Structure 1
Amino acid sequence: MRADRLLSLLLCLQSRGRMTARQLADELEVSVRTVYRDLEALGAAGVPVVANGGPGGGCRLMEGWRSPLLGISTEEATALLAVSAGGPLERIALGDALPQARLKLLASLPTAGRDRTNSAAARFHLDAQAWFRPPELVPRLAVLVDAVRQDRRLRLTHRRRDGRTVARTVDPLGLVAKAGVWYLVARADSGIRAHRASRITEAEMSTAGFTRPGDFDLAAFWADWTTEFETSLDQLPVAVRLTTAGLAALPEVLGDTTSATRATPDPEDGWHRLTLHFDSPRAACRRLLGFGPDLEVLEPADVREELARAARQTAARYSP
């Protein structure tokens, strides 16, 4: 639409200063002739556009003129620019609005502070993706986004952790991105739950809408749900002892940055005792094998035996 293009043109001039017609045409993906027509339209609307030809010329706004599109402080703009640089929003439709939003933020600032604010924001980068793991594929993410934004019911098929599939109709209340993983928060007959979006194999948006709960707060629900989810897992305590090197490897092997602080000295010098928690003996065995000889399971006995059996089988696999 031309109105959107005129606004983009105005924002470019206001946030970047002097630009040539060719630069504007490349930015807006139009012809140079279209740029000149749009500049004339802005001038006719009362926007003081100045165009100079020849070397060093270009298009700019009259010195000191600024459109009051936004009222925002330099500190607020710096914070918003920093958190809007990429991240999970790039994977959904809202990501298309980020470049335009950044232009508007810059355009709202006085010329003197614009470069300083942009430079300050560029010194911060938020990377929400977990280490050693590519972003999960979410084939139905676009449908989920549309349903959440339009308050429309969803008919979906969800694959559970045990491999079984469940079909249900839900009211999509929100989407949450945690460490590169998307979750759909939805209400069904059984209540409000979070579903891992990558396990949604089919999703169809209904023509029927729904009324959102007036007291629902997505951030508050997520905080409560994650706490409940974490406490429901890792119910098997496993007492271990680790070397100093094994203790230091906890974050690398288990992604655990806090358990090391609870370690106590072992009677044998250079070793430490600690209680870790897992879902099951098999899960404990698989994860603890990563420590090699730097860890010994003390109890329970079935985990110790399972780990010893796995270690023997691994050694046999690599024997001459």
Structure 2
Amino acid sequence: MEQGVDWRRSPAGLAALLGPPLGWFLIFFAVPMAVVLAYSFGTNEGVADIRISGTFANYARALEPLYLGILAKSLAFAGLATLVCLIIGFPVALAISFATPQMKALLLIGVMLPFWTNLLIRTYALIALLRDEGFINMALEGAFGWAGFERLNMMHSNFAVLVGLVYVHLPFMVLPLYAALDRLDRSLIEASLDLGAGHVRTIFAIVLPLALPGILSGLLLTFIPVLGSYLAPDLLGGPDSQMIANVIERQFKRANDWPFGAALAFMLMYLTFIGIALQAMARRRRAADAG
């Protein structure tokens, strides 16, 4: 039997294999993030001059009630959008996992198709649906115009932001759910149905507990990018729909306050690390209970 490669005996091969991706990671991710982290402890000395002084004033400012309120609103938006994605995405993923192989491939392409289109184009397409003269109002007016239908004002509202967030991030929920549901032991589902449990009870008693790792992964993979979204609130929302990412964008581009923008950005990073740590703790707890 052919033995596996022992990378400890060929460090040159291991370095050649890991060198390019590790170099890419360091140059285009680790170093820029380290610079932004250093900026978060700095102060503006001029238009383009930032002095790294080791101050925590930017983080103290980020904890002011104004910015904590915006962060709380962002967390609420992200939590609600993630919940809606779960409610919509779970039946979709379940249907894909039980589809025929040919239909399964087509459905997966349909889920991944939005990734092939620029996010800005997709957002403007949503604007074409939601605006006062959009396709939704035109269709409703044509169907119910005889009853005195008045056009719905959906744009520049929290509703439009929520629709945009769900529309953009739904695939992030469907794909990990499908990966978990497709690996389920179908014999357990068949046994539940044979023993008299209905489809609804089988889903809640068998499918959901077994798919819990995929559900947790989908929640995390959806919540994190939703929390950092700024395009949907910027184009679809109103003055009271701005999220924390919009504040960060303004600090870097309009206010030219890079240290404070960096501190706000790393506040989001810290929340991301907390979410990943909670998921890891939940995974270890499930492994301990199973053992």
TM-score range normalised by the length of the shorter chain = under 0.3
Structure with higher strand content:
1
Query: Larger relative contact order (C-alpha < 8 A, sep ≥ 6)?
Result: 2
Larger radius of gyration: 1
TM normalised by structure 2 equals 0.21
Report the structure, 1 or 2, having the larger helix content.
2
